[in-house]
Amino acid sequence: MRMSAAKLVGVLAIGGVLLGSTACGPVDSITGGGKKKTACKNIETELKNVASSGGSAGGSEATAQTFSDAAAKIRTEGQNAGGDVETAATAFAGDLDDTAATLRKLSSGNLSGGTPNFTQMQQHGEDLGKACGYTGFHIG
């Protein structure tokens, strides 16, 4: 069975989201601030929700909206935390927005919409993990 380009982009992006799904691990001893801890926990929850959605339910437009909504929530939580969490969350949210834009182009039949930068998304996921105090974060 062949996978559509839109579904493939969604699946690849979910892989990027999964990179961050455990990013906010043991923050208690590192953060010291309740806002940062809460924001990281909320970001983790949002990433898990996106990952569990499967990325393709309802087609590429619905997946794009899921990614856009997640980006907005992650960006807001980053702003609530401030500092390095805000910087990393903003970058990762931008990656999700880029993926959503690509999915929207594909859903409208524009196959020249390019592909999201998954290497960059992976790096931003790692940065978010570090900012939230997860010291054992690794890929693979």
pLDDT tens-place string over residues 35-72: 999 999 999 899 888 888 765 556 778 888 999 999 99
The reply to whether 16 falls in a domain is no
Please give the Cα distance from 117 to 120 (Å, whole number). 5
The reply to whether 60 falls in a domain is yes
Higher pLDDT, 37 or 3: 37
Q: What pLDDT is recorded for position 54?
A: 61
The reply to whether 14 falls in a domain is no
Q: How many domains does the chain have?
A: 1
Q: What pLDDT is recorded for position 33?
A: 67
The reply to whether 137 falls in a domain is no
- Mean pLDDT across the chain: 77
The reply to whether 10 falls in a domain is no
pTM: 0.75
Which helix (H) or strand (E) covers residue 80, if one does?
Answer: helix 59-81
The reply to whether 1 falls in a domain is no
Contacts 24+ apart (CB under 8 A), 45-51: 46/70, 46/73, 46/74, 46/77, 47/17, 47/18, 47/20, 47/21, 47/23, 47/74, 48/21, 50/14, 50/17, 51/14, 51/17, 51/18, 51/21
Domain span at 117: 29-131
